Amino acid sequence: MQFFVEQAQARRRSRRLLWLFALLVLFIVVVVNIIATYVWIWVAQDRVVPHYFYFTNTAIIVLLIVGGAWIEIQNLRAGGTRVAEMAGGRRIQPNTRDQRERRLLNVVEEMALAAGVVMPAVYVLEHSDGINAFAAGHDRQDVALAVTQGAMQRLTRDELQGVIAHEFSHILNGDMALNIRLLGLVFGLQMVADFGHWLLNHTPRRQYGERNHGFALIWFAAGMTLLLLGYLGEWCGRLLRASLSRQREYLADASAVQFTRQVEGIGGALRKIGGLGRQINPRNAEAGSFVIHPSSDRLSHFYLGPVNQAAVNRWLATHPPLARRLEKLYGRSVTYLAATIINDGIGATADLPPLSYQVTNFSDARRIHETLNPVAGLIQSSPEVPDFAAQIGQPGPAQQRFAQRMLATDQADQASTVSLPLILKAAHEPYTARALVYAMLWAEQGEVRDQQALDVAVSLAPPARSEIERYRDMLNTYPASLRLPLLDVCTPALRLMAKQYLESFLQTVQRVIEADQRLSLTEFMFQTLLQQRLAASPQLGPNKRYASYASLQSEIACVLHLLAYVAAPGRSTRNVPHNQAICQQAVHQGLAVLALKPIAIDSGGGIAYPQISASIQRIRQLAPLRKPAFLQACVETALVASSPYQHQRQLTMVAAEFLRTLCAAIDTPLPPQVSIQFAEADALCR
């Protein structure tokens, strides 16, 4: 799945949507002015309209539509969490002991770690018995993922993985920002109808006097016109929303098959939607995904399946027919499955299947067969992006096994308790997650460690030094390659902190890093990741996009230079590569991938991390279709520097860690060479 192509297409669709929205606004403005002119001539018996007549009409309409859309989008500025709360979701705490919630979190964490993206906030829609889910957010840094209670109760672990993989496709393809814009624009059009309805309800009555009769007619005509045009505009907006949404569902279904390496995941979930729907309404299989909530209709295009009967309407359907989706997946017609509630160990009965709670093996699941040609047809490769790009964000069995080992859980002794390794328990609690982050930055030297302890002690609600050092000792028993993935596992718990505690934590981390008055590469990576993952407000995306590598040549060369330095074997302790010639060759090789000329980088004064950070921020603004080649240049540079004389080239672990940090900073999934390096570290083997 070429996510960068899909992201570029999502941006094009957003621009096309804005143009269509502008045309719709123009149409409403023109019709309102035409009708208003005829009403004025009829009531006032005057063919000359007052000054600013058309300006006033136009200003009111534009203010209602554009202002309403802007207000709604601003209300959603908090990102995915705001949408999930609007849908009635309850956030699942990272340290939950509920078995079903723990299973859902494990599935989401596995998918996020394997794909190399930030762990989303996870919500449950408790009062929804249908099987459904959605992902929402402005970008991959502020994603929320919501799953209905019915999905948690009725889906096996493999089926739940398929649903989560479907939603991760929307995350990686850039569909979420488009969905939020659609929500805002439809709301703006609805404002016109609401204002017209308000005018009709407040039309002056004739008892106020005959001379006000003409004014009352104008008032009534204005209200009726706005009401009808508002409903027409809202219907057109919903039609556009439905058309865009239907196109994305086939692609997300195919992506889910690619992610999980099996069709029975997402396929089984869709078949159970049909089975549950037949139980509810024998004539409507789609009813199995219905969600009963006041906001469900507004958010219908976010969901895995239709949320109500209106969303199944032929013209306004936000999803393709269920039977058609299944036929695309399986290549033939298939029957629906019974959606029984899966036993969770409480009040167990013999006729219910056991809850699949233990972590399963992705690679042992049934593979995609040749019958899946329809799926392959949905995801043909594009000549715009090289094959390297098609592999980005595609976790294979090795990456998935690594994520499973990171998060493997033992079978619970009781349904209400979960046995987790102590270090993972700490990562799921806000208070202990802070101590764990401090432990990963804790110095070996006594004086520096004492200064770090003083810095932590003056923060808000500081963890005890003994607790930090206990986690430090535990971390020392595991490979260092675990620390960046472990930081990703800590992120959801850290995000639960109140704003003042989060700000205090980030300031304390900065002081802990500066305690030895130097900045190491590891500390720079932690600093970059924490700032990216824990930003106070979501970044709505830079206004400027660079379509040319030449515009960022010095920044790209700067990043490649550092990458060559950290990847080169036998580097000295000073900030100068051990073998300058090898590093220079690696940088030139990377620049050649982008057809850029070699550029001289002065490393005599050492590597300036602030310059690297500024360069990364500008590279983040590369157009989506330009990022794959940039990542390919980075991987090529690291491979040349890591193994200059070997036929079989392989990244060093430190180079893979820096590339993981870089991908997070520029908001892209991991390339295969990086994710496989973490997988081959064979961390946390049991």
| Contacts for 491 with CB less than 8 Å, ≥ 6 apart | 118, 119, 533, 534
User: Which residue has 């997300």 as its token pair?
Assistant: 252
Phi, psi of 405 (to 5 degrees): -65, -35
DSSP assignment of 459-521 equals SSSPPPHHHHHHHHHHHTTS-GGGHHHHHHHHHHHHHTS-HHHHHHHHHHHHHHHHTTS---H
Compute the distance between CA of residue 285 and CA of residue 278 in angstroms, rounded to an integer.
5
Q: Which of 110, 159, 167, 467 is catalytic?
A: 167
Identify whether the C-beta of residue 359 lies closer than 8 Å to the C-beta of residue 258. Answer: no
The Cα angle at residue 27 between residues 23 and 29, in degrees rounded to 5 = 115
Identify whether the C-beta of residue 442 lies closer than 8 Å to the C-beta of residue 469. Answer: yes
3-state secondary structure of 438: helix
For the chain, how long is the longest CA-to-CA vector?
A: 98
HSE-up (13 A, CA, CB side) for residue 352: 18
| Known catalytic membership, residue 636 | no
DSSP assignment of 183-239 equals HHHHHHHHHHHHHHHHHHHTPPPGGG-GGGHHHHHHHHHHHHHHHHHHHHHHHHHHH
What own/partner pairs with CB < 8 Å and gap ≥ 24 does 569-578 have?
569/642, 569/652, 574/606, 575/603, 575/606, 575/607, 576/603, 576/604, 576/606, 577/603
Compute the distance between CA of residue 606 and CA of residue 576 in angstroms, rounded to an integer.
6
- Residue 397: left (phi > 0), alpha (psi -120 to 50), or beta? alpha
The Cα angle at residue 650 between residues 649 and 654, in degrees rounded to 5 = 140
Compute the distance between CA of residue 351 and CA of residue 366 in angstroms, rounded to an integer.
25
Q: How many CB atoms lie within 10 A of CB 179?
A: 24
| Contacts for 113 with CB less than 8 Å, ≥ 6 apart | 119, 402, 403, 406, 407, 485, 488, 489
Compute the distance between CA of residue 471 and CA of residue 429 in angstroms, rounded to an integer.
14
Burial of 283 (0-12, 13-18, 19+ CB in 10 A): exposed
Compute the distance between CA of residue 291 and CA of residue 301 in angstroms, rounded to an integer.
13
Identify whether the C-beta of residue 288 lies closer than 8 Å to the C-beta of residue 280. Answer: yes
For residue 534, give both structure tokens.
Answer: 């824990």
Q: Any idea which residues carry the catalytic annotation? A: 167
